[in-house]
């Protein structure tokens, strides 16, 4: 297959803007205060609330481990406004989820804040590497949906965005219309699908989706679930760790179908109007990203101010209007166009399927070994 030139050009323009949950093009960046804070997008600037008084933290530093995608928008919407308001310096390091967890485990003293997906939060909790927080100090907490306030317990940080796993296909090149997870097993899709690696944020969600489709239970029916994965293998062109690379494959015609989180589609659809998002008939499994303090964080007051700012209406609205993250605040109102493909609104959030992270973490090592054996040629 050969894509139109526009798609290839768009792929190049998106490379700097998006790296998958778990993907990273740049290992580290340092954020420093600037004389003027850029507006949080033309639309966001007019609608977002004025930055509140966050306190004076002149001369203090906060080291943040986070995702690498949308770095420029995060700098504009969060880092620069926060540094200007507080006088502090943020040192921001991006990277793949698994690599970042390894770094925190090896040198926890190098980090104050970790912004990461749910399964990796659970991993850090198991390793006793997260600092308990006093949620009463979070002035913005009450405005969040209930399931975002304390997804890992009252002593840990809130979720700041929801996401859901779905299917994206290129209607110009995909030989079938896709409406369900089961459609991925259609033999007409041979060697044309990209699925997330089991080690990524979305990998366990796809494992659960496969089980849901087949009427199986993860942790109990793993042999049967992996048998279904083996049936899917002829259709799998790539098991990915970077959604950015996967979108590039779509743009270049190497694949016609990809299993992606919703925010990845927000970027992907800019390349071609032929890309279709599917909420599969069997249901969507959802994840969320959360923000926490790393154990041993010295500047706790500054860290709490940063967490509170991250879930403020100003930030949540600016990030939503720039297409970065779905809001978890009940008072952030978006038009249908602004919320397109976001995991947004009470009705959608109530319909989401949630995996059991205790089951995932208990079986992660075994699933990863079996996955690697099955897809070792990918």
Residues 226 and 366 in one domain: yes
Instruction: Evaluate whether 212 touches 281 at the Cβ level (below 8 Å).
Output: no
| Count of structural domains within the chain | 2
Transcribe 155-218 into DSSP letters. TSPPEEEEEEEEEEEETTT-SS---SGGGGG-GGGTT-EEEE-TTSSSHHHHHHHHHHHHT--T
Whether 207 is covered by a domain: the verdict is: yes
Alpha-carbon span 296 to 68, nearest angstrom: 24
pLDDT given for residue 51 in this prediction: 53
**Where is 197: in which H helix or E strand?**
none
Domain span at residue 178 reads 164-286+355-374
Residues 154 and 299 in one domain: yes
Residues 55 and 103 in one domain: yes
Whether 3 is covered by a domain: the verdict is: no
Taking the chain (378 residues) in runs of 10, the rounded mean pLDDT of each run is: 39 38 40 40 42 85 93 96 98 92 97 94 94 96 94 94 95 97 98 95 94 97 98 97 90 96 83 93 93 96 98 97 93 92 87 87 93 83
Residues 180 and 86 in one domain: no
pLDDT given for residue 9 in this prediction: 37
Residues 25 and 153 in one domain: yes
pLDDT given for residue 26 in this prediction: 38
368 beta partners: none
Whether 116 is covered by a domain: the verdict is: yes
Report the CATH number that the domain containing residue 364 is assigned in CATH: 3.40.190.10
Alpha-carbon span 78 to 62, nearest angstrom: 13
| Beta strands 193-196; 257-261: pairing state | parallel
Residues 40 and 169 in one domain: no
Whether 82 is covered by a domain: the verdict is: yes
pLDDT given for residue 376 in this prediction: 83
Whether 2 is covered by a domain: the verdict is: no
pLDDT given for residue 124 in this prediction: 95
Residues 175 and 306 in one domain: no
pLDDT given for residue 377 in this prediction: 54
Structure tokens, 255: 């694949």
Instruction: Evaluate whether 196 touches 96 at the Cβ level (below 8 Å).
Output: no
pLDDT given for residue 285 in this prediction: 94
Residues 85 and 198 in one domain: no
Residues 147 and 293 in one domain: yes
Alpha-carbon span 68 to 38, nearest angstrom: 20
Whether 13 is covered by a domain: the verdict is: no
Q: Is the pTM of this model over 0.95?
A: no
| Burial class of residue 359 in the structure, from the number of CB atoms within 10 Å of its CB (0-12 exposed, 13-18 middle, 19+ buried) | middle
Residues 75 and 62 in one domain: yes
Residues 45 and 67 in one domain: yes
Residues 74 and 96 in one domain: yes
Whether 14 is covered by a domain: the verdict is: no
Whether 299 is covered by a domain: the verdict is: yes
pLDDT given for residue 2 in this prediction: 37
| Burial class of residue 216 in the structure, from the number of CB atoms within 10 Å of its CB (0-12 exposed, 13-18 middle, 19+ buried) | middle
């Amino acid at each position: 297959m050969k894509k139109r030139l526009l798609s290839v050009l768009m792929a190049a323009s998106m490379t700097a803007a998006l790296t998958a949950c778990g993907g990273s093009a740049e290992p580290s960046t340092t954020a420093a205060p600037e004389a003027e804070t850029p507006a949080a997008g033309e639309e966001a600037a007019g609608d977002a609330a004025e930055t509140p008084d966050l306190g004076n933290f002149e001369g203090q530093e906060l080291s943040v481990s986070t995702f690498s995608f949308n770095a420029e928008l995060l700098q504009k919407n969060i880092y620069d406004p926060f540094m200007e308001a507080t006088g502090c310096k943020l040192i921001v390091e991006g990277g793949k989820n698994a690599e970042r967890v390894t770094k925190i485990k090896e040198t926890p003293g190098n980090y104050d804040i970790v912004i990461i997906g749910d399964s990796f939060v659970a991993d850090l909790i198991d390793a006793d590497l997260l600092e308990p927080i006093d949620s009463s100090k979070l002035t913005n907490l009450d405005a969040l949906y209930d399931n975002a306030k304390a997804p890992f317990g009252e002593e840990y940080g809130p979720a700041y965005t929801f996401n859901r796993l779905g299917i994206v296909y290129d209607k110009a090149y995909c030989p079938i219309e896709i409406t369900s997870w089961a459609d991925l097993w259609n033999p007409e899709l041979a060697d044309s699908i990209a699925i997330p690696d089991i080690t990524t944020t979305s990998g366990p969600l796809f494992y659960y989706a496969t089980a849901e489709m087949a009427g199986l239970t993860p942790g109990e029916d793993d042999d049967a679930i992996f048998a279904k994965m083996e049936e899917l293998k002829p259709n799998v062109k790539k098991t990915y760790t970077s959604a950015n690379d996967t979108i590039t494959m779509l743009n270049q015609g190497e694949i016609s179908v990809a299993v992606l989180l919703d925010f990845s589609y927000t970027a992907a659809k800019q390349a071609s109007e032929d890309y279709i998002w599917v909420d599969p008939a069997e249901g969507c499994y959802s994840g969320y990203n959360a923000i926490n303090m790393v154990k041993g964080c010295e500047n706790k007051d500054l860290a709490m101010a940063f967490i509170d700012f991250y879930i403020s209406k100003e930030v949540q609205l600016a990030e939503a209007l720039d297409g970065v993250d779905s809001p978890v605040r009940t008072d952030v109102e978006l038009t249908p166009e602004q919320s397109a493909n976001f995991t947004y609104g009470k009705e959608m959030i109530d319909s989401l399927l949630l995996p059991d992270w205790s089951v995932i973490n208990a079986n992660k090592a075994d699933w990863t070994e079996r996955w690697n054996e099955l897809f070792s040629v990918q």
